[in-house]
Structure 1
Amino acid sequence: MGFFLALFGNTDNRNLIEALKSGAYLVDVRTPAEFSIGSVKGAVNIPLEKVSIQLSKFKNKENIVVFCRSGNRSSQAKTILEQSGFHNVINGGTWQNVNKIIA
């Protein structure tokens, strides 16, 4: 993923910046142990394996930004959410990427 980002840039970056500025629902899909080490201020922790059973937490959110350590789990979370009817989901990639944009 890093190779393609370096070549083409993050095509969702503009949408990500706008969503973050508008107060998107920030979801860290890493494990609780990873989350406890550090995350984005204001983010909630819903581990990837629990996303599909905690869909109610995503309802009525204008924008949802999911992120993780490498962008892989957040990509999977985005797919799960979209298959569950959520169309306002942005894969923020790494939590450091999201944190850098917010800062």
Structure 2
Amino acid sequence: MNETIIYPILVIIAFIAYKKYSYYKVLTLVPSLLMQGGQIIDVRTKDEFTLAHKEGSVNIPLDILENRVNELNNSKPIIVCCASGSRSALARRLLITKGFENVHNAGNWKSLIKF
């Protein structure tokens, strides 16, 4: 295989491994975050949320999250999720820029079903 192909493939593999590890770290924290009063915010669209969601989660679609941050309690952990982890990563960054400190990206909402 050509070296010009190997390096981009290695970078992609490293990125995927890093994302999986990041989600794993958050998922190990979820039980304690929930015990601290943490709230699960699902940032998928209303239609996606209606089809299936984690019981007890709150649907605030990413495109309106900025307008609804006042509904969130900054003194308690916030766990954001979506379909793949991309929108929840954007939601986490948005909340941090709005002054939230205890925000965790759990990635796919299905990973939270066991909690």
The answer to whether 1:38 aligns with 2:52 is yes
Equivalent residue for 2:101, pick from 80, 87, 91: 87
Q: Name structure 2 gaps, 5 residues minimum.
A: 1-14
Report the Cα offset of residue 58 of structure 1: 1.1
SS of equivalent to 1:54: helix
What pairs with 1:1-103 in structure 2 (closer than 5 Å)?
A: 2-6=16-20, 8=21, 10-100=24-114, 102=115
Question: What letter is aligned with 2:67?
Answer: I
Question: What letter is aligned with 2:54?
Answer: V
Report the Cα offset of residue 71 of structure 1: 0.6
Alignment coverage as a number of residue pairs: 100
- Give the structure with the higher percent helix: 2
Give CA-to-partner distance per residue, 1:33-68, whole Å, 9 cap, x none. Answer: 000011011111100011111111113451111100
- Over 3 Å counting, the alpha-carbon distance change for 1:23 and 1:91 in structure 2 is same
- Percent of aligned pairs sharing the same letter: 32
Which shifted more, 11-20 or 51-60? 11-20
Report the Cα offset of residue 13 of structure 1: 2.9
Higher Cα Rg: structure 1 or 2?
Answer: 2
Q: Name structure 1 gaps, 5 residues minimum.
A: none
CA RMSD of aligned residues (A): 1.9
